[in-house]
Amino acid sequence: MAKLYFRYGTVGSSKTLNLLAVAHNYRQQGKKIILMKPDIDTRFGKEKIRSRAGLEQEADVLIHAGMSLLSLDFQGISCILVDEAQFLSARTIDELRSITTDWNIPIICYGLRTDFKSFLFDGSRRLMELADSIEEVKVTCNYCNRKAIMNLKHVNGIAVNEGPSVELGAEEKYLPSCFPCYCIELQKAKSLRKQKVSCLEPV
């Protein structure tokens, strides 16, 4: 039986580069794959799946709100790769789970686990609940040599943890951070604003 995989990591952990490498390997073997991404991810162009290293490919399927994946034809497909899976709805993750069983096709989803406020995205939460395999794509903290587990948002070089959870951006807005450095950077920002609150409270 085919499996549903969730490969998660912080910003800057080369998740998309990993996805594109897997896609290349399948295609080198002459196997058909489908590349999917949520249509709200327009950072590098709506149809583009692009890594920060500059490699890119066209998405075959753009997943939008209200769309059903169950109506698509997956005949002859060897693997489905999904980028930015955290932005998908729980219902879409349920459909991906169904496709692995109904079509016997492995599906590998890549995405963030949590937002910059430390809360699970809906798509990531459902993947944590349903995936057969959950793997971490690791990267070191931007500020030290510990493993990054947080996505630290910053504006004009100052850390913040307020605003909408879904706010597109790359290195100009988000940095990978371990939890101690996450707290330190937010405390620095709070000191600038003369506030003394928990590092998990809004700055």
List 84, 129, 162, 171, catalytic entry: 84
Q: Let me know if 167 is a catalytic residue.
A: no
Complete DSSP assignment for the chain: ---EEEEE--TTS-HHHHHHHHHHHHHHTT-EEEEEEETT--TT-TTEEE-TTS-EEE-SEEE-TT--GGGS--TTEEEEEESSGGGS-HHHHHHHHHHHHHS---EEEEE-SB-TTSPBPHHHHHHHHH-SEEEE---B-SSSSSBP-EEEEEETTEEE--S-S----STTTEEEE-HHHHHHHHHHHHHHTT----TTS--
Known catalytic residues are: 84
